[in-house]
Amino acid sequence: MDEVVVTGYANINKNTFTGNVKTIKSEELMQVSRTNVLKAISTFDPSFRIAENNVFGSDPNALPEINIRGHSSIGTMQLDKDKFSKANLEKNPNTPTFIMDGFEVSIQKVYDMDPNRIENITILKDAAATAMYGSRAANGVIVITTKDPEAGKVRVSYNFTSTLEVPDLRDYNLMNAKEKLDAEVKAGIFAPNKELGEYEGDHWYWKKYNAVYIEGVETDWMALPLRNAFQHRHSLNVESGNNNIRYSFDLNYSGDNGVMKGSKRNNVGAGFDVYITLGKFQLSNSVTYNNTISEESPYGSFSDYTHQLPYDKFTDEYGNLLNVLYAWGDAGTKLNPMYEASLDNFEKHKNDEIINNLQIRWDIGKGFMIQASVGLQKNWKERKQFIDPKSNKGSQKLSNNNLLAGDLYTIDGNSSKWNTRLGLSYNASLGRNNLNFSVIGEINQSNSYMISTHYVGFATGTSADINNASKVKDKPTKSEHVSRYAGLNGIFNYSFDNIYLADLSIRYEGSSIFGKEQQSTPYWSGGLGLNIHNYNFLKESILISRLKVRASYGQVGNVNFEPHMSHNYFQSQYDDWYITGYGNKLYYMGNPDLKSEKTNTLDVSLDVSLLQDKINFTATYYSKKTHDMINDVTVPSSSGFMTYKDNIGKIRNRGIELSLYANMLNSDDCFLSVYGNFAKNKEVLLKIADSMKRYNERVNEKYQDYDTGGNSYDKKYAEVYTKYEEGGSTTAFYGMKSLGIDPANGKEVFVDRVGNVTYDYIPSQQVIIGNTEPKGQGSFGFNFRWKNLTLSSVFQYEFGADRYNETLVNYVENANIRYANVDRRVLTQRWQNPGDIAPLKDIKDSQKTTRATSRFVQKYNLLSMSSLTLQYEFGERITRALHVDRLRLEANTGELFRCCSVKQERGLGYPFAKNFNFTLMVNF
């Protein structure tokens, strides 16, 4: 049987399909990772990109940020983001659409799912492959097919994976207590000056000397909130049936304890699938239930610990936790993060989900088939965050005048979704002609409901219940949204003599997200291909077994936005009563003319297979242009609003993709294959909105007060920002172009936009100083089997990107040597005397914050071993003795080594971790 491409709407013969797809089989996926589906996908397709999150690291409760072939939209701008908020990861308009067994699911569903249930994954990238999804297709589509139950005797499969997760702190280069004190002496901290007289400086030196050398204080602050975490996953599958009815039952559990103490994410799932075949009539029904309970670490942000002074104690002489840390000189009050961690603070999340998908197929005959499906999904979500009354982070501080402090934030909500689909398909071979077409109509509705409440005033930290709150602060807020879309698909696939290929897809769709006059939009694509290997002169070729060229062009859309953008929303003013009742004010101004973003995509590919498919090569060029980009439009503040949403802006992504697979050796006892892939993407903003120009002004304004009072010592001015200019990109970052440190006086020399040299830092003269988009990235690896032993490895790489090294800025050049631990490089490569040629300014000026400058931009080149797997399949003699059908042991590790050209601290809010996995698979 010819291999088919699973698109979620129709299965199309891969030999005659002109779309750009990548299919990953279950065994391939498992060789990379049994715990992280999304990470495994990224190793097979370099255009599937997971952004490195330097804030949340390996936090099990942080969803990854993903895009395919670059960004098609702007999303939340940097100034409007909370750097340490995970909500930014959930509301990303560049996230691809995920389809599981024909129904759309959330990225969280895929993130939490049991990999053992997956049969294969298909990545749809170009318009020919994705246009059938219309307004959901601009960012690509990931189609996941789960395993069907097989007929036969009752079979039981059990998989157990245990994981040891170890904090990865190799990118931190901090001083110990003795090194820190020595650095302070060399930096002149204790020298007589206006702040500290000769006696005072000498006094504090001996105080610290006593702590370091007499008392031997050496606090490993980074170790305090961390642990080696043990995780375990279990999956049980029971299946059986005959030719008329097949069924399977699944149970799975995963307990993911993060490397920060107290953080965890536990999932429990169950599913029941049944397949009934009665002649030409087929019915399948799948029902699944999932429960997720997650908790954030009570130890707070990892950044609260990393730069604490190593000679600071966090307990008194009796072992009691200190509320605040010791103040050395004029250090002021410093909170003790370990005291906060000892309180009854918590943040807990709970999510329950139930899904029922029903699908019916009726083979009418003569190539015609009717398909119908109904999908129902229901979610219940809860979130509780409690701040202990004794905490220093509450909205009210505990005091003699206020005996009730503490906060409880609650969010309760639910959401539901239903989808129904009806289609007619035809598949036939008429002589040398192959026809495959489908007409499919569908309707979808989503509802969401959420209430947020803030309670204050609790007697103790153990009374975190709404019944124990003294009052509700402010009025609870409620949000409720309904969105609908309906679509009609026409999908046509044709081949002549299995040589000349054509695809056509048309979708007409209406969505309630957009304005009344713009709710209905057509999406389309067309593709042409040529199977050159099927010409007579190549059919008998020993060298070339496959030579295919294909091209497609089409238009798709994006609806990954809030559902209320085109509608006005009002808020009731219960405090202002009139004779006719209370008043209402306009809370959000919608745009009734708002329409979908549209992305036009050109894709050209070449597929080559040699030596009876032993060597396979694919090359692709693509160009994506998004217009009608949804952005904020600035309006006069007298209107009561600063912005509203409109279709303004254009962005283009162009790139190439290469992949190579070679089967080097294949015999009964030995097998060896090698593979590699490469992708390059270049993004350009072709047109920007006025709101983006206003945003650029806001970035400039961030630096305006730098020279006022003591602001020049504020670390917030060291942050580097993205701006939006035509010819730039969403991955570019801006700063002043630097010529380095002037050897004569130790001051930094800048160049403005027109080439003038100056000592003055002028925010409006910032230019692009770097881009986080790599020149190229991909992966390579091998699979080797000798008899029952299999070894496989995957390496990932990227090169040519830029990084702004914040560690060099904040903890080397601008290091606060007096009050915080710093990087060991703090005293090296400094300007000291006239004539010195050095990359860093004088240490005497180190506390004055360095603003964004090209001096700290470094090339980011990376090579890592992302996966190493060793498997052993026990032979028939042992399995028969154990009365099992199959027995396999497996060991796997992720990122065993990592070589990077930029030396900076990683995992600022939550550290990264290394994983060591051990798996047992048994079939009965």
Does pLDDT of 556 surpass 60? yes
pLDDT at 825 over 60: yes
Q: How confident is the model at residue 251, as a pLDDT? A: 95
What are the angstrom distances between the C-alpha of 533 and each of 493, 544, 606, 659?
19, 7, 12, 19
Convert the pLDDT of each residue in 385-405 to its tens digit: 999 999 988 888 887 777 788
Q: Are 274 and 245 in contact (CB under 8 A)?
A: yes
Among 173, 182, 177, residue whose Cα is nearest residue 313: 177
Q: Write the pLDDT tens digit of every residue in 617-656.
A: 999 999 999 988 777 666 555 555 556 677 778 999 999 9
Instruction: Calculate the dihedral angle through the C-alpha atoms of 805, 808, 813, 815, rounding to the nearest 10 degrees.
Output: 120
- pLDDT bucket at 885, cuts 50 / 70 / 90: confident
88: pLDDT strictly greater than 60: no
Q: What is the pLDDT of residue 578?
A: 59
Tell me the chain's radius of gyration from C-alpha atoms: 30
Please say if the pLDDT value at position 2 is more than 90.
no
First to last CA, the chain: 29
Q: Do residues 909 and 56 lie in contact, with contact meaning Cβ atoms separated by under 8 Å?
A: yes
Cα 607 from chain centroid (whole Å): 31
Tally of CA atoms within 13 A in the half-sphere of 343 that contains its CB? 24
Say if CB 626 and CB 73 are below 8 A apart. yes
- Burial label for 638, CB within 10 Å (0-12, 13-18, 19+), is exposed
Strands 757-758 and 748-751: antiparallel
Residue 115 C-alpha from the chain's centroid: 18
What's the CA gap between 687 and 690, in Å, rounded?
10
- Look at residue 209 in the predicted model and tell me its pLDDT: 93
Q: Specify the pLDDT at position 84.
A: 57
Question: In the numeric block, which tokens belong to residue 97?
Answer: 């659409």
Q: What is the mean pLDDT of residues 806-830?
A: 89
**Chain segment 711-770, per-residue pLDDT in tens:** 778 888 888 999 999 999 999 999 999 999 999 998 999 999 999 999 999 999 999 999
pLDDT (0 to 100) of residue 642: 57
Question: Measuring CA to CA, which residue among 708, 732, 705 is closest to residue 720?
Answer: 732
Point out the least confidently predicted range of 109-118, 573-582, 821-830: 573-582
- CB count within 10 Å of CB 660 equals 16
Residue 871 tokens, joined = 């498997």
Whether the pLDDT of residue 176 is over 60: the answer is yes
pLDDT computed for residue 300 by the predictor: 92
Ranking 603-607, 822-826, 842-846 by mean pLDDT, the lowest is 842-846
Residue 19 is which amino acid?
Answer: G
Measured distance CA(76)–CA(49) in Å, rounded: 19
Segment 477-484 mean pLDDT: 86
pLDDT for res 396: 85
Tens digits of per-residue pLDDT, 207-224? 999 999 999 999 999 999
Give the pLDDT mean for 666-687. 93
pLDDT of residue 83: 60
User: What 3 state SS string does 515-577 have?
Assistant: CHHHCEEEEEEEEEEEEHHHCHHHHCCCCEEEEEEEEEEEEEEECCCCCCCCCCEEEEEEEEE
Question: In which band, very low, low, confident or very high, does the pLDDT at 77 lie, cut at 50, 70 and 90?
Answer: confident
pLDDT in tens, 333-387: 788 999 999 999 999 999 999 999 999 999 998 889 999 999 999 999 999 999 9
Query: What average pLDDT score do residues 263-279 get?
Result: 94
DSSP codes joined into one string, 343-406: S--EEEEEEEEEEEEEEEEEEEETTEEEEEEEEEEEEEEEEEEEE-TT-TTSSS--BTTB--EE
Q: Which helix (H) or strand (E) holds 657?
A: strand 650-666
The tokens describing 538, both together, are 């190549």
Angle (CA) 153 155 158, round 5°: 175
Percent of the chain topping pLDDT 70: 92
User: Does residue 89 surpass a pLDDT of 60?
Assistant: no
Buried b (16+ CB within 10 A) or exposed e, 320-357: eebeebeebbeeeebebbbbbbbbbbbbebebbbebbb
Dihedral-angle region of residue 457 (phi above 0 means left; psi in -120 to 50 means alpha; beta otherwise)? left
* DSSP secondary structure letter of residue 459: S
Output the CA–CA distances (angstroms, integers) from residue 589 to 566, 629, 683, 691, 898, in the order listed.
8, 18, 31, 16, 49
At residue 1 the predicted structure's pLDDT band, cuts being 50, 70 and 90, is: very low
Per the model's pLDDT, the better-predicted residue between 592 and 124 turns out to be 124
502-534 pLDDT tens trace:
999 999 988 877 766 666 889 999 999 999 999
CA 740 to chain centre: 36
Tabulate helix, strand, coil % of the chain (nearest 5).
15, 50, 35
List the structure tokens of 501: 């290929």
pLDDT of residue 170: 92
Q: Give 411-450 as a 3 state SS string.
A: EEEEEEEEEEEEEEEEEEEECCEEEEEEEEEEEEEEEEEE
| Contact indicator for 801, 774 with CB cutoff of 8 Å | yes
pLDDT digits (tens, 9 = 90+) for 123-142: 999 999 999 998 888 899 99
CA distance 265 to 910: 15
866 and 52 Cβ atoms separated by less than 8 Å: no
Q: What pTM did the predictor assign?
A: 0.91
Element (H, E) at 203: helix 198-209
What mean pLDDT do residues 913-924 have? 92
pLDDT at 521: 87
CA quadruple 330, 332, 337, 342: dihedral positive or negative? Answer: positive
Give the pLDDT confidence score for residue 341 in this predicted structure: 93
Question: Would you say 568 and 584 are in contact if contact means Cβ atoms under 8 Å apart?
Answer: no
Dist. CA 686–CA 578, nearest whole Å = 51
pLDDT at 818 over 60: yes
- Residue-wise pLDDT for 840-869, tens only, equals 888 777 778 899 999 999 999 999 999 999
Q: Mean pLDDT across the chain, nearest whole number?
A: 88
**pLDDT confidence of residue 657:** 96
